[in-house]
Every structure is written in C-alpha cells, then in structure tokens.
Amino acid sequence: MDQLARPALDLILPPRCLRCGEVVAGDGALCVACFREATFITPPLCHRCGVPFGGDWAEPVAEEAAGLLCAACARRPPPWHRARAALIYDDGARPLLLAFKHGDRTDAAGALGGWMARAGASLLESADLIIPVPLHRTRLWRRRFNQSALLAAAVARRARRPWAARLLIRAKATPTQGGLGAAGRVENVRGAFRLLRPERVAGRRILLVDDVLTTGATLAEGARVLRNGGAAAVDVLTLARVMRENGESV
Ligand SMILES: [Zn+2]
Ligand SMILES: [Zn+2]
C-alpha cells in the first residue's frame, strides 16, 4: 500500500489484530494478548538453520561469535548457507499467517517485515539482493498477490536492500505442498523454478524470502537454482518456521 495513503485510510479502517480482529493501536499487527501468544525466536540458536535451543532464553548469546550448531546441521548441513525466522509456526502464529495469506490482510506486511528484518539482521547485513519465493502465474492470478513478495518488499524497505521479484520464476504449476510428506514435497518442487537473468545473481549473496519454512523443500529447490545460476551464497529468511516435536530443526 502507498505509505502516503495510509493515514487517511486509518480514519476509515482502523488497523486490526491479524490474529483476533481486535482494533489495535498504531501499525502493530497484533493486539497485546495475541502478541503474548506468539513465540518469537530468540538466541541462542543454531548458526546455520536458526533453530532456537532450549534452556534459558533470557540469556542471549552472540550466535555468530559462538558459532553454535544444532545436531541436525552437524550431521548434514542445510542446502542454504543460513536460515532465520521470526516466529515458531505454532497455534499462536498459524491464524495470523493464514489471515495474511488468505484474508486480505496485506496491510500487515510492513509490521511482519519488521519482525523478519530483526530476526534476519545478520543475514541482511551481507545480502546483496533479496528474492521472494515465486508463485506460478495461475495461482498468482487466483490469489491476486504473492505473500512472499509482499514480505520481501517490506524486509527490503526496512533494511534498505534491493529486491527483485521477477528473476526467479515458477515455471511449473505444481500442486500445493500441503498434505505431502517430506519426500513428496522434494519431488513436487523439482524443476519448478527458473532463473531468468543469471547475471543479476552471479557472484552475489542472495536472501531468499518465504512466509513459512516447513520441510524446507521449496526453499532448498530455490536455493539450488540460484546457486546453479552463480549466486555466491543463498541465505533464507521466513516469517515463521515449523519445529519438529523434539525441537529439532526440520
Ligand atoms: Zn489479537
Ligand atoms: Zn541447525
């Protein structure tokens, strides 16, 4: 939304909580009660995949300096360089992500992008270009907007970094990933993306943005295509991430 148009619109439509619909003050995406329900990811966390470690979360450590690594990343490094997310995808986060994606609440992109910019500050510092995970044009037409592109634009604005929505495209209309297992998801997105102008990513550090990291299959395929196109490194930033029951990274 045009920033200049915002104050006038607020007089007619006061901002509402993305989770419960209550009127909220300022441009916050959540009311106080829903904000408390959301699980924001804070250090200490795995340097590579960004999974938060248990224990005393009130005692943050500089993860870059400590270089903490989770067991899953020590066993098998992720297909991207680093990943970060603002929220755990739990009962606190699910309604707000669904409202953003399907409920015409694109007005919340700025606030959500602010959370992401904070969570991904260390990634943004070294990012040359921000690229959203694309939707296929038929789905874009049905949904009218790509939620990942809205988040990428909001993050780019906060961090004053360039972003590009039409370099990585979805060449194949794949069925939705919902309901598929981990192996099915990998198979489903194989060959789904195409990089249109590889010279724009060659030798550069790319930050790939999506709304949720579930199994990571979609982001891994996007990262693979960008690396094949010559990207120096690919980091991943999402609004939320799924955690396994045992707290391990997905
Ligand atoms: Zn609320
Ligand atoms: Zn890890």
DSSP assignment, residue 25? S
In CATH terms, 3-241 corresponds, of 1.20.1260.10, 3.50.50.60, 3.40.50.10490, 3.40.50.2020, to: 3.40.50.2020
In whole angstroms, give the CA distance from residue 43 to residue 58.
Answer: 9
Q: Which residues pair with 16 in a beta bridge?
A: 23
| Beta sheet of 83-88, edge-to-edge order | 83-88, 233-241, 205-213, 129-132
How many angstroms separate the alpha carbon of residue 193 from the centre of ligand 2?
25
| Ligand nearest, relative to CA of residue 31 | 1
Centre of ligand 2 from the C-alpha of residue 159, in Å:
25
Residue by residue, DSSP assigns 180-219 as --HHHHHHHHTT-EEES-GGGTTT-EEEEEEEEESSSHHH
Ligand 1 (ion): residues with CB under 5 Å are: 17, 19-20, 22, 31, 34
Q: What does the pLDDT read at residue 205?
A: 98
Kindly compute the dihedral angle of the four CA atoms of residues 222, 140, 185, 92, in this order, to the nearest 10 degrees.
100
Closest ligand to the CA of 33? 1
Q: What residues pack around ion ligand 2 (CB closer than 5 A)?
A: 46, 48-49, 70, 73, 249
Span 197-225, average pLDDT:
95
Cα(2) to centroid of ligand 2, in Å?
A: 38
- For residues 135, 140, 144, 145, the Cα torsion angle rounded to the nearest 10 degrees is 10
Q: How far is the CA of 78 from the centre of ligand 2 (A)?
A: 8
- Taking only Cα atoms into account, the Rg of the chain, rounded to an integer number of angstroms, comes to 18
Domain boundaries, the chain: 3-241
Q: 3-state class of 235 per DSSP?
A: strand
pLDDT score recorded for residue 66: 57
What confidence tens digit (pLDDT) does each residue in 33-71 have?
999 999 999 988 898 999 988 654 444 444 455 578 888
Of 6-10, 141-145, 246-250, the least confident = 246-250
Q: Residue 241, SS3?
A: strand
